[in-house]
């Protein structure tokens, strides 16, 4: 089983500061953060084999350490319901990514199950020059870009910090179950933020993280996409 340190060291040996989606999810999963299982397929045949293990519907995304914004590369296909759709999606993703990023190292595609819809939230971290790691929480998906409804706290978080971060966003009523929609499990989200905070404290070589979207449900939450950016130089 590959450890967090092994994943980070391997990326550095390859001259990378950005972990792939698969690497990032593995690191977060090992930190006790619930992420949707995502596996690498380097061929159509492997993609179908993984589909057989995961079950339909599935999501395929381009897997490349050089492509951060997969949608811009035409590198995402969702809701695939049979082997024919998986084969076609694999071909289209690879062709589009190679056309738009001709020099990129493309490893294949990531295969993951299609998460059931939930309330989309986001959490992330950036390093402030004065305060150090700052954790962010808010509504996810495109809402974070449009509404910018987010809250911030300095790492490490306390239980009270986590609770206040969640409650102070303007969209908190959505998490409570606005107009009969399924509410989010607020204690679970508090625990998620605390786990992320603990993870960041224990991993000072991380410069930036992005967990977006996270689907929140009444019985928990799951990270659907994840990104980790390392510092240029490992801490001395």
SS3 111: strand
The fold for domain 4-113 equals Dna Ligase; domain 1 (3.30.1490)
Q: How confident is the model at residue 144, as a pLDDT?
A: 64
Q: How confident is the model at residue 69, as a pLDDT?
A: 81
Q: How confident is the model at residue 67, as a pLDDT?
A: 86
Q: How confident is the model at residue 148, as a pLDDT?
A: 80
For the chain, give every residue range classified as CATH 3.30.1490.20. 4-113
Which candidate, 122, 133, 120, places its Cα nearest to that of 208?
133
Q: pLDDT tens, position by position, for the chain (236 residues)?
A: 788 999 999 999 999 999 999 999 999 999 999 999 899 999 999 998 988 788 889 999 999 988 878 888 899 999 999 999 999 999 999 999 999 999 999 999 999 999 998 999 999 999 999 999 999 999 886 666 667 889 999 999 999 999 999 999 988 999 999 887 899 999 999 999 999 999 999 999 999 999 999 999 999 999 999 999 999 876 55
Q: How confident is the model at residue 2, as a pLDDT?
A: 80
| pTM of the entire predicted model | 0.90
Which candidate, 183, 157, 187, 158, places its Cα nearest to that of 171?
183
Q: How confident is the model at residue 143, as a pLDDT?
A: 63
Q: How confident is the model at residue 234, as a pLDDT?
A: 65
Q: How confident is the model at residue 53, as a pLDDT?
A: 85
For the chain, give every residue range classified as CATH 3.30.470.20. 119-230
Q: How confident is the model at residue 114, as a pLDDT?
A: 92
Helices (H), the chain: 4-13, 21-30, 44-54, 83-100, 143-146, 159-167, 172-175, 186-202
Q: How confident is the model at residue 142, as a pLDDT?
A: 67
Question: How far, in Å, CA of 202 to CA of 32, rounded?
Answer: 13
SS3 148: coil
Question: How far, in Å, CA of 132 to CA of 127, rounded?
Answer: 5
Domain 119-230 has CATH 3.40.80.10: no
Q: How confident is the model at residue 55, as a pLDDT?
A: 83
């Amino acid at each position: 089983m590959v450890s967090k340190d092994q994943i980070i060291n391997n990326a550095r040996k390859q001259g990378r500061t950005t972990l792939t989606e698969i690497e990032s999810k593995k690191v977060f999963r090992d930190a006790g953060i619930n992420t949707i299982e995502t596996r690498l397929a380097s061929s159509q045949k492997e993609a179908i084999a993984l589909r057989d293990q995961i079950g339909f519907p599935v999501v395929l995304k381009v897997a490349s350490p050089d492509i951060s914004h997969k949608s811009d590369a035409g590198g995402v296909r969702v809701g695939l319901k049979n082997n024919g759709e998986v084969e076609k999606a694999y071909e289209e993703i690879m062709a589009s990514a190679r056309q738009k990023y001709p020099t990129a190292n493309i490893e294949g595609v990531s295969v993951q199950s299609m998460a059931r819809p939930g309330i989309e939230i986001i959490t992330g971290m950036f390093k402030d020059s004065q305060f150090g790691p700052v954790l962010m929480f808010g509504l996810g998906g495109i809402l974070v870009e449009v509404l910018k409804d987010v809250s911030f706290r300095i790492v490490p978080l306390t239980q009270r910090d986590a609770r206040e971060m969640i409650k102070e966003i303007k969209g908190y009523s959505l998490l409570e179950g606005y107009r009969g929609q399924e509410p989010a499990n607020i204690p679970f989200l508090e625990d998620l933020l605390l786990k992320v905070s603990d993870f960041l404290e224990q991993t000072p070589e991380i410069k930036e993280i992005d967990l977006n979207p996270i689907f929140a449900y009444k019985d928990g939450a799951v990270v659907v996409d994840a990104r980790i950016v390392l510092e240029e130089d490992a801490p001395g």
